[in-house]
Structure 1
């Protein structure tokens, strides 16, 4: 090896930091970039970070003795760069939450400073029986795979049972009462026409299972199963402070293309990875359930998805029959002979109708066609 090829023992020399900026970068972007300097050069080689979903009012998230170096604010976030003896800290705030990241000369110092900045800074909302904590996963261009948590409102099963036709209500009765000891399959499949209450049932399920199961909704499932790194982050998961052994239910809504019969040809490896997460090597040792909603008919689904033993529940959620719909609404007005979906019943109750163009008489000249 030539002398000029010998790698430097100093990380800052073998990995030079070079920043390129233009007028599309905001001051907050500059603060983010400046924060990386001491970590990239190796002066502060240890980094620790934490995400806070709800920061208490008045908390600066700066430890005692920290000196602010830069501060920037734009429409949707702010960034503060600060330093202290042996550490540098970046606080990025967004929509009531914040990311706190620390670099330091030692691992212990990084942990200590992060604790001083973030411990006790997150605001817990007052508990309400109808509120359920739910996580939301998405892939952020800025931060990669990211999870945020929100409190959602969910009615009890007793309150919403009448929203479902009798056979569906019976199947959901059993699902709502499932305990961890009774779990056989790892896939929960709700299918049926739009507007029948599949998502509402899942919200109520999150409330019924909240003592033993954390429910996370994946906002971009089409990316999840085509990005191995994203999938691994979710498969490894976050305990969300609930302790080890707690189950997680990952919700994937409207995944028609993923589970239909021709999915192996149209979705590549996505279907295989979904099945691997439910009962393959990827799911081994992980207390993970996968809930899927789809508008597909059962006959159009891939046989591997619905094979015996894979599904904890496979429920077709359909419209209420005419007698059930009339009983729900309290009147026959607007209810067709084939019954009605839950969405149609709520629209009838509110007295709303979708905007539409009145039907024209045969042969009548069309208006507004030349605008």
Structure 2
């Protein structure tokens, strides 16, 4: 007859070793996990708050603070009460709040008391749109944060595009969920022609029915199945309410060019699977890709009929359009100009110097 196995906490002795690479915040993390690891408080509930309201302590009534730390980019507070322990980790405007407790209901109640009313909602601006930004954090894994992005209306930015592009974008800006056929949105063309600006304006035009998320590390997304599942499959407030999501992948030349099947491995297959394969079934997900590649160099599977909701080549303005945009012929060549070149001419700078010199509201409008 086999012996009864020992409880898991007895098989996991807790030892804390620190050196000069550790910070006081690391010690708080370890102390917080102690009661959960031993089974004294076996239930844990947590939440991430992107923008904490000014003055919010994130502590429930009656909390006794045990430890508190603060450094350049992070602060942490360890507190306890009857049957529970709480850790608050704050960075910039955001915070992670986690509670361990003797039972699940207590953990949920303490977490609610600590965070009730702590979320700060920014004042909505008519020309702003909320965009999400995904990236893999070394500390927290796949993570999404949001920002208010200034975006002009389509009527305001339409003159930045040559006539055929503007006409194609006219149709795209008016798309509704009922119009969606393909799941891939492809903008291709030379650098500096305004692809990023068009996507920002699209986010504004679609904001009533579509949440736009930019993936900051797309080269990792399709090579990390866990990351891909978190973004594409994981539920969030938008998808549970039936809203669509547009995932933006910028400058993905290596992923979708003709030889991508050999150089990118499974990454291309997963992208295609997300747009019209099993991975995308039942999910209201669109994928927007920008690339500097010519259409002829793109993989045929990417541009096949039926896959793309839109496939737009964003090119330079003609000489006539450039002169009308700039208000003068000075500096405009026979072949016209890109949007980046026109901004440079307006400022009296060299186009090559624009990315390092442009700051403020106009920065990024011509990428």
TM-score normalised by L of structure 2: 0.93
Instruction: Check the 8 A contact 2:341/2:351 in 1, yes or no.
Output: no
Retained in 1: the 8 A contact 2:210–2:245? yes
Instruction: Give the C-alpha shift of residue 11 in structure 1.
Output: 3.1
Please state if 1:7 is matched with 2:18. Answer: no
Partners of 2:37 and 2:265 in 1: CA distance = 38
1:362 corresponds to which residue? none
Question: Based on CA coordinates, which of the two structures has the bigger radius of gyration?
Answer: 1
Pick one of 254, 262, 265 that aligns with 2:262.
Answer: 265
Query: Structure 2 matches for 1:158-177, cutoff 5 A?
Result: 158-177=155-174
Q: What do the CA deviations read for 1:342-364 (whole angstroms, capped 9, x no partner)?
A: 111111111122578xxxxxxxx
Residue pairs, 1:199-348, within 5 angstroms = 199-240=196-237, 243-348=240-345
Q: Indicate the larger mover: 215-224 or 28-37.
A: 28-37
Give the conservation status (yes or no) of the 8 Å contact 1:87–1:104: yes
Instruction: Output the CA distance in 1 between the equivalents of 2:112 and 2:348.
Output: 54
Distance 1:240 1:26 in 2: 35
Displacement of 1:116: 1.0
SS of 1:159's equivalent in the other structure is helix
Deviation track 1:123-147 (CA, whole Å, cap 9, x = no partner) reads 1111111110110000001000000
Which residue pairs with 1:151 in the alignment? Answer: 148
Please report the RMSD computed on the Cα atoms of aligned residues, expressed in angstroms: 1.5
Residue 90 of structure 1 is matched in structure 2 by 87
Tell me the residue number matched to 1:78. 75
* Structure 1 residue 78 displacement after superposition: 0.5
Change in 2 beyond 3 A, CA 1:349/1:185: same
Structure 1, residues 155-182: CA drift from partner, whole Å, max 9, x if none?
0000000000000000000000000011
Contact 2:188 2:290 in 1 (8 A): yes
Shift of 1:104: 1.4
| Kept after mapping to 2: 8 A contact 1:145/1:233 | yes
Q: Secondary structure at the match of 2:65?
A: strand
**What SS does the corresponding residue of 2:270 show, helix, strand or coil?**
helix
Which moves more between the two structures, 109-118 or 247-256? 109-118
Cα contact 1:323–1:339 (8 A) shared by 2: yes
Aligned residues of 1:191 and 1:315 also touching (Cα < 8 A): yes
Aligned counterparts of 2:54 and 2:328: Cα–Cα separation in 1: 49
Q: What residue in structure 1 maps to residue 364 of structure 2?
A: none
Map of 1:48-67 to 2, 5 A cutoff? Answer: 48-67=45-64
Which secondary structure does the structure 1 equivalent of 2:9 belong to?
Answer: helix
For residue 32 of structure 1, report the CA deviation from its aligned partner. Answer: 1.3
Instruction: Name the CA distance, whole Å, in 2 between partners of 1:344 and 1:206.
Output: 25
* Contact 1:16/1:40 (8 A) holds in 2: no
Correspondent of 1:112 among 96, 109, 113: 109
Contact 2:316 2:338 in 1 (8 A): yes
| Cα separation, partners in 2 of 1:242 and 1:262, compared to 1, 3 Å | closer
Q: State the Cα distance separating 1:238 from its structure 2 match.
A: 4.6
Q: Secondary structure at the match of 2:26?
A: helix
Per-residue displacement from partner, 1:44-82 (whole Å, max 9, x unpaired)? Answer: 222111111111111110000111111111111111111
TM-score by length of 1: 0.92
| Helix, strand or coil at the partner of 1:12 | coil
In structure 1, list runs of 5 or more residues that go unmatched: 357-371
Distance 2:80 2:277 in 1: 47
Residues 1-23 of structure 1 show CA distances to partners (whole Å, capped at 9, x for unaligned) of: 764xx521x33113333333211
Paired position in structure 1 for 2:178: 181
CA contact (8 A) 1:7 1:14 kept: no
Distance 1:165 1:241 in 2: 34
